[in-house]
Amino acid sequence: MNMAVTDSGETMLKGISASPGICIGKAYLVDKEGVDVVERYFIPESKIRDEVKRFKAAVKKSTDELRDIIEKTPEDFLQQTSILETQQVLLKDKMLYGRAIETIEKESVNAEWALKKVAAEVKSTFQTMSDPYLKERAEDISHIADRIMRNLVGAEQVDIGRIYKRVILVAQDLSPADTSQIRLDRIKGFVTDKGGKTSHTGIIARTLEIPAVLGADTATASIRNEDVIIVDGTAGKVIVSPSERTLVEYEERSMRYKQHKAAITRKSRRPAKTADGHRIRIMGNIELSEEVVSVINYGADGIGLYRTEFQYMGRAGFPSEDELYEKYADVIEVMGTKPVTIRTLDINGDKAISPNNGSAEVNPALGLRGIRYCLQRPDVFETQLRAILRAATHGNVRIMIPMISTCEEIIRSRQMFNEVAEALDKEGAVFNSDIKIGALIEVPSAVVMADKIADEIDFFSIGTNDLIQYTLAIDRGNRQVSHLFRPLDPAILRLLKWVTDVAAEKNKGVYICGEMAGYAIHAPILLGLGMNEMSMNPQAIPTVKQMIRSIKMSDTQPLVKEALRLASAEKTFGLLQEAYGDVLSEIERTE
């Protein structure tokens, strides 16, 4: 267990340092397994009827909520609502509904307790069934029980969109759909039980500079609503109910961190040039148009990855062409002549389109994700392409296609791009189709086929988050295997080398936009491999730039050669530490 009690009696949780910085504030628990925090109390005989009524009302509210979600789900996702329909039926099933009422009446206990007790029994009955379909229904029982429980206790837990105070969000896990509903300006920090560094909560937290500790295992069990907590995102620590002394210490640390940030930000506006004069473009990754501010602030040379799917999540229906056009135009205009790389819709996988209605795919990471989805829904893809082409009149735009796993996908994407341009032309619309198109290289088959893909595109951008996930068979959001998620793994370095060699041979640009690029220690390798551009979460830019300034380009090629001979991530890390450890600790010392 990642939990310890300090000398002064504070509880300290250890998790993954997902976004640096320190915040102090009150915890806001998004307790999805609310069933666990229930107390038992007895109900006098005269009040039993009211208690049953209260339970029935909570069930009715839950049924209405489910109906509402089903009705608002875009037609295309109706297949996913079958899970919710099953849950609707189970809500009124005798096993749960009938027995909970019976328990209230027979044991004279509160509805919450009765629900908790019955749900646990029913869940374990389902779990012991041999039929896999029925076994899976145990999950549905959990979801239903949670929903009824929330309605019973009147908690706001699901409605994270309505948080009105500045709080630290504590949750078991946050799906991208959850994150897309949150008013992020209200969030001081994130703490979750599950999730790793490259989970989307981690990425958003880094981009918005919100301190985050993820994968803390027991956070929701150890922290209560309104508890004062300290989140040390740099060290991956959470301190619950800190003593006065600890509070003072962390307030000072937080202040120092902010001062240091301000100092390196000032230096960050200068271009990234190695000690021997080689210039590399450093770009920012964004998810929401608001984040463009930090891209500018940290002196990025452009946007290397604009993740566009967040505009599609947590809502009913798809955004319209005009809505998308406005969003893109805003970002493009702010960036002026600097390139904005718009990644087309990378929906599904871990980014299901509609909130609260779990995906129907058994294995979503290998499912209808990214370009696969877009090619099956040409109407959705065309709408986005039209918006991009129109917005491209405002500045310097590139298009990047995610989840390319075959050449046909990129060929078809380009055809659709041409068709959209032709249609806009016929309509007499104002647009710009002089746009570079690139493939996001994140599936191993795309690396293998890079030479053929190169003939169809203008640039490669390597998405190491998924490339590591798919190459090493490591779920990027799974804490259990996060120790294996290593960008310096020799298998990954070999794939990167393969792509950069093909790019050089075919005279195509080669960029990297996975999280790997945001760690200063990787910079010598990435330079040596010949990356033309590195795109990262904006707050990583100052440190990476500082690192680049202390590297000699001429040292990096021999370094890569040596790294490629090594058989483990540890050894390559050791090699880098040996060559650049001093520089790094100097950078970190000033941090």
Please identify every residue annotated as catalytic: 200, 513
Token code pair at residue 334: 């702010």
Residue 82: other Cβ atoms inside 10 A? 12
Contact, 231 vs 168, CB < 8 A?
A: yes
Asked if 466 is part of the footprint of Mg ion (rule: CB under 5 A), the reply reads: yes
Asked if 195 is part of the footprint of ligand PEP (rule: CB under 6 A), the reply reads: no
Distance between CA atoms of 244 and 24, rounded to whole angstroms? 12
Distance between CA atoms of 308 and 343, rounded to whole angstroms? 6
Closer by beta carbon to ligand PEP, 96 or else 403:
403
Helix (H, G, I), strand (E, B) or coil at 534: strand
Strand partners, 441: 462
Contact, 65 vs 111, CB < 8 A?
A: no
C-alpha of 26 from chain center: 23
**Binders of ligand PEP in range 207-236 (CB under 6 A):** none
Residue 373: other Cβ atoms inside 10 A? 22
| Among positions 307, 479, 486, 545, the unique one binding ligand PEP when judged by CB under 6 A | 307
User: Which residues have CB under 8 Å from 277's CB, separation 6+?
Assistant: 553
Asked if 389 is part of the footprint of ligand PEP (rule: CB under 6 A), the reply reads: no
From the list ligand PEP, Mg ion, none, partner contacted by residue 513 (C-beta under 5 to 8 A by kind): ligand PEP
Closer by beta carbon to ligand PEP, 305 or else 313:
305
Strand partners, 436: 398
Which pairing describes strands 11-14 and 187-192: parallel, antiparallel, or unpaired?
A: unpaired
Asked if 465 is part of the footprint of ligand PEP (rule: CB under 6 A), the reply reads: yes
Question: CB of residue 466 vs Mg ion: minimum separation in angstroms?
Answer: 4
Give which of 371, 356, 256, 344 is closest to 313, Cα–Cα.
356
From the list ligand PEP, Mg ion, none, partner contacted by residue 464 (C-beta under 5 to 8 A by kind): ligand PEP
Distance between CA atoms of 287 and 308, rounded to whole angstroms? 6
Question: CB of residue 306 vs ligand PEP: minimum separation in angstroms?
Answer: 10
Question: CB of residue 305 vs ligand PEP: minimum separation in angstroms?
Answer: 6
Token code pair at residue 317: 């229906």
| Among positions 341, 344, 383, 464, the unique one binding ligand PEP when judged by CB under 6 A | 464
From the list ligand PEP, Mg ion, none, partner contacted by residue 305 (C-beta under 5 to 8 A by kind): ligand PEP
* Region near ligand PEP per CB under 6 A, out of 216-224, 464-472, 517-525, 555-563: 464-472
Distance between CA atoms of 413 and 434, rounded to whole angstroms? 15
Token code pair at residue 407: 């050449």
Closer by beta carbon to ligand PEP, 332 or else 516:
516
**Binders of Mg ion in range 271-300 (CB under 5 A):** none
Distance between CA atoms of 224 and 207, rounded to whole angstroms? 27
Closer by beta carbon to Mg ion, 264 or else 401:
401
Closer by beta carbon to Mg ion, 146 or else 346:
346
Closer by beta carbon to Mg ion, 232 or else 442:
442
C-alpha of 320 from chain center: 24
- Using CA atoms, how far residue 373 sits from 193, 262, 401, 559, in Å, is 31, 42, 12, 40
536 class by beta-carbon count within 10 Å (0-12 exposed, 13-18 middle, 19+ buried): buried
| Among positions 31, 466, 489, 533, the unique one binding ligand PEP when judged by CB under 6 A | 466
Distance between CA atoms of 589 and 591, rounded to whole angstroms? 5
* Region near ligand PEP per CB under 6 A, out of 31-39, 461-469, 542-550, 575-583: 461-469
* Region near ligand PEP per CB under 6 A, out of 111-119, 381-389, 428-436, 459-467: 459-467
Question: CB of residue 495 vs Mg ion: minimum separation in angstroms?
Answer: 14
Query: What letter does residue 344 receive in the DSSP assignment?
Result: P
From the list Mg ion, ligand PEP, none, partner contacted by residue 287 (C-beta under 5 to 8 A by kind): none
Asked if 515 is part of the footprint of Mg ion (rule: CB under 5 A), the reply reads: no
What values do phi and psi take at 174, rounded to 5? -125, 125
Closer by beta carbon to Mg ion, 34 or else 463:
463
Count residues binding ligand PEP (CB under 6 A): 10
Closer by beta carbon to Mg ion, 402 or else 524:
402
Distance between CA atoms of 481 and 365, rounded to whole angstroms? 16
Distance between CA atoms of 133 and 77, rounded to whole angstroms? 21
Contact, 493 vs 563, CB < 8 A?
A: yes
Question: CB of residue 541 vs ligand PEP: minimum separation in angstroms?
Answer: 16
Asked if 513 is part of the footprint of ligand PEP (rule: CB under 6 A), the reply reads: yes
Question: CB of residue 403 vs Mg ion: minimum separation in angstroms?
Answer: 7
Question: CB of residue 109 vs Mg ion: minimum separation in angstroms?
Answer: 48
Question: CB of residue 140 vs Mg ion: minimum separation in angstroms?
Answer: 30
Question: CB of residue 346 vs ligand PEP: minimum separation in angstroms?
Answer: 6
* Helix extents (H) in 473-531: 490-506, 523-529
What values do phi and psi take at 367, rounded to 5? -105, -145
| Among positions 305, 335, 392, 488, the unique one binding ligand PEP when judged by CB under 6 A | 305
* Region near Mg ion per CB under 5 A, out of 12-20, 312-320, 464-472, 481-489: 464-472
Question: CB of residue 365 vs ligand PEP: minimum separation in angstroms?
Answer: 10
388 class by beta-carbon count within 10 Å (0-12 exposed, 13-18 middle, 19+ buried): buried
Asked if 173 is part of the footprint of ligand PEP (rule: CB under 6 A), the reply reads: no
What is the greatest pairwise CA distance in the chain?
Answer: 85
Asked if 311 is part of the footprint of ligand PEP (rule: CB under 6 A), the reply reads: no
Q: Give the nearest residue (CB) to ligand PEP.
A: 463
**Binders of Mg ion in range 438-457 (CB under 5 A):** 442
Token code pair at residue 410: 């990129």
User: Which residues have CB under 8 Å from 31's CB, separation 6+?
Assistant: 37, 155, 157, 171, 172, 220
Asked if 463 is part of the footprint of Mg ion (rule: CB under 5 A), the reply reads: yes
| Among positions 51, 178, 442, 489, the unique one binding ligand PEP when judged by CB under 6 A | 442
- For binding to Mg ion (CB under 5 A), which residues are involved? 442, 463, 466
Residues of this chain that interact with ligand PEP (CB under 6 A) are: 305, 307, 346, 442, 463-466, 513-514
